[in-house]
DNA sequence: GAAGATTGAACGGTCAATCTTC
DNA sequence: GAAGATTGACCGTTCAATCTTC
């Protein structure tokens, strides 16, 4: 475990955050609260799509046949299976995708993008990518972006290490 | 949608993300989806508090008289005034804070932490800080943490620059 | 009239229970 | 029985409308 400068163990054993750690933490929280809100708002206005819905449709659109198992989609979008099911309900009612059982294994459900769904992703993508550039990518130098990705990867590794423990 | 590797301007003018940019963006999204969920879950189990509720109570507890204007609290927690109002309702019903009008300006509403609210923050803080350390602070080297904070600051600046525009 | 704050309806996500297929 | 997926109830957030104080 990495030790930092000032955070000394207390009688109770808690290592509080020093000023730098606290500032970093508050900055991360602020980004976590504001960045998705800004992207959500742009997508809702331009395509009546939440950010999560867009990411789901975008993932489908990248597949060879624009189809994916629900559980795979859940992993790729970092969402629960239950959430996926609810979102797929909404998108199916709007005619943007449909679901059918995997003929090779009936336990699996495939989500398939419709032409209308594909068209909507194609229509929404430019505005969305532009916002992502404006708020994130182009706001950082290439070095800063690499550093951000590196930090993100470490945090994700830590998040995943505890996810199935205890068994 | 399937994209080419290099971010060249297209006929339409959209600069798509190259592989590195895309990876960075997906990493940020994954952290945004998973980190708050993990912290929420820890706080809910240990103190029946959402992350947002905890941050709000923690902010109050840091003030000289453990009181703050609702609108100031909204700014500090990066939440809307409406959200603050609903959260304060819940916390007030639980006896963790109460509200009263600012005697100096009746338009302002002050939120004040009760002793029970203070006790709950004190009780919840060690476990929460430990999780923040485990998942974020101690998962990164001091250099990585500084780089993360730096990137976060730039993103926030970009987010705020567009927030009141046009006027 | 404008700023600060509240309200209620609509919506989205979570959790636990359930269903289906292997 | 277990994995994949769905369902419905509950809870929290958003949005627009409203209220209060200056």
Kindly tell me if the per-residue pLDDT of A164 is higher than 80: no
Write the DSSP assignment of B86-115 as a string of letters: HHHHHHHHTTSEEEEEETTEEEEEEEEE-H
CB contact (8 A) between residue A20 and residue B149: yes
- B120 within 8 A of B96, measured Cβ to Cβ: yes
CA distance A153 to chain B (A): 7
| pLDDT at site B161 | 86
Per CB-CB distance under 8 Å, the chain A contacts of B140 are 2, 151, 154-155
Q: What is the pLDDT of residues A131-142, one digit of tens each?
A: 999 999 999 999
pLDDT digits (tens, 9 = 90+) for B47-103: 999 999 999 999 999 999 999 999 999 999 999 999 999 999 999 999 999 999 999
3-class secondary structure, A43: helix
CA-based nearest residue in chain B for residue A38: B159
Region A56-61 average pLDDT: 98
- Return the nearest residue to D13, CA–C1': B83
Nearest nucleotide by C1' position to the B71 CA atom: C4
Phi, psi (rounded to 5 degrees) for A14 = -80, 130
Mean pLDDT of chain B: 92
Provide the token pair at A51: 């950010």
Nearest residue on chain B to A58, judged by CA atoms? B1
Minimum-distance nucleotide, CA of A111 to C1': D5
pLDDT of residue A166: 47
Q: How far is A107 from chain B (nearest CA, A)?
A: 27
Of the candidates A101, A103, A7, A99, the one whose C-alpha atom is nearest the C-alpha of residue A56 is: A99
Question: Which residues have CB under 8 Å from A100's CB, separation 6+?
Answer: A109, A110, A112
Closest residue in A to B79 (Cα) is: A33
Report the pLDDT value the prediction gives residue B37, as an integer from 0 to 100. 96
Backbone angles phi, psi at A120, to 5 degrees: -65, -40
3-state secondary structure of B61: helix
**Residue nearest D6 (alpha carbon to C1'):** A85
């Amino acid at each position: 475990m990495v030790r930092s400068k000032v955070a000394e163990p207390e009688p109770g054993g808690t290592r509080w955050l020093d000023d730098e750690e606290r500032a970093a933490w508050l900055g991360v929280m602020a980004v976590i609260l504001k960045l998705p809100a800004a992207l959500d708002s742009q997508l809702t206005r331009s395509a009546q799509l939440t950010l999560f819905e867009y990411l789901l449709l975008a993932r489908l659109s990248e597949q060879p046949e624009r189809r994916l198992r629900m559980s795979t989609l859940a992993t790729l979008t970092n969402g629960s299976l239950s959430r996926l099911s609810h979102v797929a309900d909404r998108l199916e009612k709007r005619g943007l995708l449909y679901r059918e059982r995997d003929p090779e294994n009936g336990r699996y459900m495939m989500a398939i993008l419709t032409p209308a769904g594909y068209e909507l992703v194609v229509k929404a993508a430019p505005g969305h990518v532009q916002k992502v550039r404006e708020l994130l990518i182009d706001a950082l130098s290439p070095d800063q972006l690499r550093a951000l990705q590196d930090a993100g990867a470490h945090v994700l590794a830590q998040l995943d290490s505890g996810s199935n423990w205890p068994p």
